[in-house]
Amino acid sequence: MSGPRRIGVAILGYAFMCKAHSHAFKSIPHFFYPPPAIPDLVVVYGRTEEKVKLAAANYGFRKYVTDWRKAVDDPEVEIVDNCLPNSMHLEPTLEAIEKGRHVLCEKPLARNSEEAKILWDTARKARVKTMVAFNYRFVPAVQLARKIVQSGMLGRIYHFRARYLQDWLVDPNAPLTWRLKKEDAGSGPLGDLGSHIIDLGRFIVGEFKSVMGMVKTFIEERPLPDNPAEKGRVTVDDAFEAVVELENGAIGTLEASRFATGRKNYNNFEVNGEKGSIEFNLERLNELKLYLREWEKDSIGGWDTVLVTEKTHPYIKAYWPPGHIIGWEHTFINEIWYFLNAIVTGGDVAPLGATFEDGYRNNVIMDAILKSAETGRKVTLSF
């Protein structure tokens, strides 16, 4: 009796995200059994041969290449997973789509909305599946939050506030990596972290209508990675703040910084409605805080903390018994299983997965925040 077919995977990039994504591909048959297909890690791409060779051996790829075109063109490859820096999202992703490969592209989709529009236009005309890797959509507690809001349990929504805080750039001697260069990254924590909370706002509460933004660069020069005695200019933001208005009438605030001393990966959002509120903190990703006004009538009051590990909660039945928590890496397993299932069954990536249209709209919002910061004026969004 034949089992699930094998599906060839190429990952572009061999560092942090390659580790997370390759682990997810390999873990899918272990947890989601039977899997839609069995991922086969065919080839990994990286510019530095010694490092990509080591990554291939470590993560279980059969081959490695130092030319991304060879990975995209490999006849064994059906899925191209683009984990490269933002400046290399456009060309390899376009070529992969044109070659008939399904594409999972890391966030943000592009450096700006113009590039993102090209990718979206290409994707919607293609027959392949495309998805942007906003993995926090696949935290069980986040999907429960979305369900609560969309069910009307909170009533009319008044506020969405979100902040994504890290501190890894507080040291002024931290080197000038690609994430600090506009030509490579497009923006600083706005794109790196802010894209996540913008996506969560759209995913849980609704579309954005207008924005007002402010950006700040605290350290304007940093040591060069290959020559610490010399410094190069930082050309992106170190932090951003924004006030937003949503189409449903709610208002909100967004904040992201890589200078929030003591914060390591603090992705936090809160939704306030007429009947109650919810709050989520990624550093406690198995929990969702819930407050309902009706509880006050029964003298309960206060906030309740829901441990999102029941079998009825999204994706949990694939893992452990109730109360046995999952971790950050499981967000990628859930995300990539969902993408793989859409490929095999022909199902839609939307609404749970982020389409390239979602990626484009995300880029439009980020561009508008930068424009507002430059002009000092509110920007009404036009998609």
3-state secondary structure at position 19: helix
Helices assigned H by DSSP within the chain: 16-31, 49-59, 68-73, 90-98, 113-125, 140-151, 182-185, 189, 195-204, 328-345, 356-375
User: Is residue 1 scored above 90 in pLDDT?
Assistant: no
> Which tens digit of pLDDT belongs to each residue from 330-382?
999 999 999 999 999 999 999 999 999 999 999 999 999 999 999 999 999 99
Is residue 3 very low, low, confident or very high in pLDDT (cuts 50, 70, 90)?
confident
What does the pLDDT average to over 50-73?
98
Cβ atoms of residues 4 and 34 within 8 Å:
yes
Is residue 276 very low, low, confident or very high in pLDDT (cuts 50, 70, 90)?
very high
**Residue among 74, 73, 125, 128 at smallest CA distance from 105:** 128
How far is it, in rounded angstroms, from Cα 227 to Cα 142?
43
Percentage of the chain beyond pLDDT 70 is 98
Q: What is the pLDDT of residue 296?
A: 67
- Domains, the chain: 6-136 (3.40.50.720), 137-326+353-375 (3.30.360.10)
3-state secondary structure at position 253: strand
Go through the chain and tell me how many residues it has.
383
What does the pLDDT average to over 219-242?
95
How far is it, in rounded angstroms, from Cα 216 to Cα 239?
5
Encode 71-84: b = buried (16+ Cβ within 10 Å), e = exposed: bbebeebbbbbbbb
Provide the 10 A C-beta neighbour count for residue 283. 12
Q: Which two tokens stand for residue 315?
A: 């994706």
How far is it, in rounded angstroms, from Cα 315 to Cα 330?
9
Work out whether the CA dihedral 47, 192, 262, 16 comes out positive or negative: negative
Q: What is the pLDDT of residue 256?
A: 98
Of residues 136 and 300, more confidently modeled: 136
User: Is residue 201 scored above 70 in pLDDT?
Assistant: yes
Specify the DSSP element, H or E, that contains 230. Answer: strand 227-233
Of 26-40, 186-200, 252-266, 294-308, the one with minimum mean pLDDT is 294-308
3-state secondary structure at position 113: helix
> Which tens digit of pLDDT belongs to each residue from 284-307?
999 999 999 987 666 667 899 999
Encode 196-205: b = buried (16+ Cβ within 10 Å), e = exposed: bbbbbbbbbb
Which letter does DSSP use for residue 188 in this model?
A: S
What single letter denotes the amino acid at residue 331?
T
Q: What is the pLDDT of residue 295?
A: 74
- Residue 118 neighbours by CB under 8 Å, 6+ apart: 90, 94, 110
User: Is residue 130 scored above 90 in pLDDT?
Assistant: yes
How far is it, in rounded angstroms, from Cα 263 to Cα 24?
26
What does the pLDDT average to over 144-159?
98
User: Is residue 253 scored above 80 in pLDDT?
Assistant: yes
Q: How far apart are the first and last CA of the chain?
A: 50
Q: What is the pLDDT of residue 302?
A: 86
Residue with tokens 């040591």: 223
Q: What is the pLDDT of residue 294?
A: 85
3-state secondary structure at position 123: helix
